[in-house]
Structure formats: C-alpha cells, structure tokens
C-alpha cells in the first residue's frame, strides 16, 4: 500500500515539474527541439502515471491438492494353536500363535 501512494506522489510531482519547466522555456522558431522534448517528456510522464495507476499483478492460484495415497493392503491375521517350545518347563506346549497371510 505504501508503494502505491509513493508512486502516485512521484507521478504527480513529475507532472508538476514538467508543467513548470514547460512554461519557462524561451520561444524559438524553426528547430523543432521543443516538440521533440515535449513528446519525450510526455511519454516519460505518461509511463510514470500509467505505472502508478496500474495495480499489481494478481497472485497465482494455489496449487490443487494432490491425491491421497491409497491405503496399504489389509493383512488378514488370526490366531492358531501351535506347539511351541517353553524353556521354563523344558517341554513343548500348545499356545495361540498369530498367523498372517
């Protein structure tokens, strides 16, 4: 917001200075330098005024959301009774064991 008001102030100051200098130029006939200077000054001041009046570019739109990753495949698990070695009793015992696909 500060930049816009600064640009407008500079543009207005440039126009005022340009008009003040244009009024104090001595009258000459024949060489055409005044016309060229007026055209160049007008283009410069027009560019300043145009850039001050133009708004800033709009920001780009946000990127679309990426698709979520598919869930991992489900693993089917169950418990089966199996014989396992039990070192505390030094023998095989039947215990439920988790078995998955």
pLDDT tens profile 36-82: 888 888 888 888 888 777 767 788 888 888 778 888 888 899 999 99
- With H, G, I as helix, E, B as strand and everything else as coil, classify residue 51: helix
83 inside domain = yes
89 inside domain = yes
95 inside domain = yes
Q: Count the domains in the chain.
A: 1
Q: Which structural domain, as residue segments, surrounds residue 93?
A: 76-100
Mean pLDDT, the chain, rounded, equals: 81
84 inside domain = yes
87 inside domain = yes
Least confident of 5-9, 23-27, 86-90: 23-27
Residue with tokens 């145009």: 50
Distance between CA 15 and CA 12 in Å, rounded? 5
For residues 14 and 45, the answer to whether their CB atoms sit within 8 Å is yes
27 inside domain = no
Helix (H) or strand (E) holding 37: helix 33-53
41 inside domain = no
pLDDT of residue 86: 93
93 inside domain = yes
């Amino acid at each position: 917001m500060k930049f816009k008001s600064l640009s407008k102030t500079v543009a207005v100051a440039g126009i005022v200075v340009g008009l003040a200098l244009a009024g104090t130029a001595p009258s000459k006939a024949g060489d055409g330098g005044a016309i060229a200077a007026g055209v160049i000054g007008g283009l410069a001041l027009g560019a300043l005024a145009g850039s001050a009046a133009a708004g800033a570019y709009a920001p780009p739109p946000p990127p679309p959301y990426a698709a979520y990753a598919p869930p991992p495949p489900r693993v089917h698990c169950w418990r089966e009774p199996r014989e396992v070695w039990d070192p505390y009793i030094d023998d095989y015992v039947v215990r439920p064991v988790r078995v998955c696909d």
